[in-house]
Amino acid sequence: MNTKNTLIPVTLIPGDGIGPEIVESVVLILDAMGAPFEWDRQTAGMAAVDKHLDPLPEPTLNSIRRTGLALKGPLTTPVGGGFRSINVRLREEFKLYANVRPASTLMPGGRYDNVDIVLIRENLEGLYVGFDHYIPIDNDPHGAAISSGVNTRAGSRRIARYAFDYAVKNNRKKITIVHKANILKALTGIFLETALEIAKDYDNKIQVEEKIVDACAMQLVMNPSQFDVILTTNLFGDILSDEIAGLVGGLGLAPGANIGEHAAIFEAVHGSAPDIAGQGIANPMALLSAAAMMCDHVQRSDLGQRIRQAIHDVLVVDHIRSKDLGGNANTKEITAALLSRLQGKH
């Protein structure tokens, strides 16, 4: 996809709250590494509402259509005003059907020392399709609420194929298909049935098991090392991915990728943290980890691995950690430590 001398255009969205601070840190690090990215800065979130009256304005969408690649800070969807979730709009606009959330133990001494899980979540269907409505009862216009979920054979087949191909490419050994087909027999039954059908194409390559979501949630906290790749539906993936992040220190280290056939968007999955915005204490490591995933995506896994090694060394060898990880280093100190590691000044 890329030769080492070719610049790759990337839509860069600083975002809201601490977003601009962590984006500045990550761009500084990537540029210092000589990463082959050409940044096209665009606005989204609250800043875009002020400028364009839309949290996801057309110039930003056009940029992603052109680049097919974006790195974004956390975004805040304005409350009221009829604005839909920016992240959901991005997924729908670019058909980003696969959400990829890796989590691995980085810091020793916690409850778990051997977590290495990748959760792959279907990103467009399920109970997040937004088919919600109220039914009036007596004098109450909101007397009952009804929500419908949609899983399609084609959508289930697409995400299952992605997960199995990902597992093979990344030398993973096992996929756990997570569902609730014992109760939601049609909605998650079609997902389970389709995923098991796809699994037959990977006989002798990938071990396959299936688990009901509540049992999976319990087993994750009892013995997370039994899991390798988890494949699941939209709602379950949203919940379990945050649970898995909690096993390895929380969202401060959690990257995410949203992958489609024609675009990919990489992000820190934590929020915009407006309570600490502008204080210079935000942790850039989740977004930097997302940037490492972006490097992998453009066939520069050499850069991705260098970034992951630097993060490990700063946390484990140098013991430089932000407040959310039990330390007291600020954003500039963490950035300087990462740069020092990446430039071999040790």
Q: Can 1-94+262-346 and 98-249 be said to share one CATH topology?
A: yes
Contact 77, 19 (CB under 8 A): no
pLDDT confidence bin for 5, thresholds 50/70/90: low
pLDDT value at 263 more than 80: yes
Amino acid present at 158: R
In the set 31, 50, 113, 214, the catalytic residue is 214
Stated pTM of the model: 0.93
Residue 205 a catalytic site member: no
pLDDT value at 79 more than 80: no
In the set 16, 97, 166, 180, the catalytic residue is 180
Residue 180 a catalytic site member: yes
Residue 214 a catalytic site member: yes
Residue 302 a catalytic site member: no
Residue 242 a catalytic site member: yes
Q: Does domain 98-249 have CATH number 3.90.1150.10?
A: no
pLDDT at residue 167, as a whole number: 97
Amino acid present at 1: M
Alpha helices in the chain (DSSP H): 19-33, 46-52, 58-67, 86-93, 153-169, 189-199, 213-222, 234-247, 285-297, 301-312, 331-342
CATH for the stretch 1-94+262-346: 3.40.718.10
Contact 258, 297 (CB under 8 A): no
pLDDT at residue 80, as a whole number: 65
pLDDT at residue 230, as a whole number: 98
Where do the domains of the chain lie?
1-94+262-346, 98-249
Show Cβ contacts of residue 127 under 8 Å, excluding neighbours closer than 6 positions: 147, 149, 187, 234, 235
In the set 16, 40, 97, 128, the catalytic residue is 128
For residue 329, what is the DSSP state?
B
pLDDT at residue 193, as a whole number: 98
In the set 16, 40, 228, 238, the catalytic residue is 238
